[in-house]
Structure 1
Amino acid sequence: MNPTSLIPILVVEDSIEDFTALSRAFRKNAVPNPVLRCEDGDQALEYLQGYGKHPDWPSTLPVIVLLDLNMPGTDGRAVLDILKQDKALQSIPVIVFTTSANSRDVEECYRLGANSYLTKPIEYSALEEKVRLIVRYWLDASELPIAC
């Protein structure tokens, strides 16, 4: 068994419909990791910067973060910037997963330290394929740091 298989995947996504589709695609790809959702950037930072301290959150950091950019409150760019400047969190792979294909967004996210930038497809079958590629690369092929 892959040592990262029980470590949660964190999805930072304000749309319940998008999160539901993503969760379904992870299940279709037989991902054993729990898939957690933070509804906005503030909730994501609360979990990531305070993991293990709040009884409602897991006591481990996620193996990867799928981060939407355009959310109310603290947006994905700010979350990415904070994560990549925090020594305790900067090694967690952050995959920006958003509807924006704007080249300025892509450039800014990589400048801020994104490990990958993927656009969300509209059709579910294309979403399922993107999730399969995420799983294959990030969870099966990559050697990831094991945070506790």
Structure 2
Amino acid sequence: MSQLLNILLVEDDAIEVMKFTRVLKGMGHNHKITEASNGEEALFALKDREVSTDIIVLDLNMPKINGLEFLNIIKNDNDLKYIPTVVLTTSNNHKDVAACYNNGVAGYFVKPLHYAEYEDNIKRMIGYWTKNEFLYQ
């Protein structure tokens, strides 16, 4: 059983947003993507209960509220802490990886240089969450 996802994409780079959107459209699914260019915008989007969020895809290096700060805020919020959050970033710094997992991320992907590898990673990640029983409850 697969479901369409409501994805909150927290990414400040327009090219990265375009790549992510292109991969999802290429999968032939109509997942709803809500875009936020920083953690502050993402918090506003999460507090707006018009659309529930099934998964958050989070960059770390952003202005205003960065990814680690955002992650710390949502994981300490009883209404938001259970939303699966997957980090998609250029940082392969072990301190960032450890900090993210210590704050309860569901996954951590370093953005690869080659588009084909990026596409494969996104397809696997989205494929997993479309079938995950956690989201059906």
TM-score (normalizing by structure 2): 0.93
d(CA) in 1 for partners of 2:98, 2:16? 24
Structure 1 portions without partners, runs of 5+: 53-58
In the alignment, which residue of structure 2 is the partner of 1:143?
A: 133
Give the equivalent residue in structure 2 for 1:65: 56
| Alpha-carbon distance, 1:146 to partner | 5.2
- Kindly provide the amino acid, as one letter, of the partner of residue 34 in structure 2: L
Asked if structure 2 preserves the Cα contact closer than 8 Å seen for 1:81 and 1:113, the reply is no
Aligned pair 1:126/2:86, yes or no?
Answer: no
| 1:38-49 pair list within 5 angstroms | 38-48=36-46
Alpha-carbon contact 1:31-1:135 (below 8 Å) kept: no
Contact 1:41–1:79, Cα closer than 8 Å, also in 2: yes
What is the CA-CA distance between 1:32 and the residue it aligns to? 2.1
| 116-125 or 66-75: bigger deviation | 116-125
1:146 and 1:88 map into 2 onto residues whose CA distance is 17
CA RMSD, 1 decimal: 1.5
TM score, norm. by length of structure 1? 0.86
- Which ranges of structure 2 fall in alignment gaps of 5 or more residues? none
Taking only the aligned residue pairs, the percentage that are identical comes to 32
User: CA 1:95/1:75 → structure 2, altered by over 3 Å: closer, same or farther?
Assistant: same
Q: Supply the distance in 2 between the matched residues of 1:61 and 1:82 (Cα, whole angstroms).
A: 18
Aligned to 2:65: 74
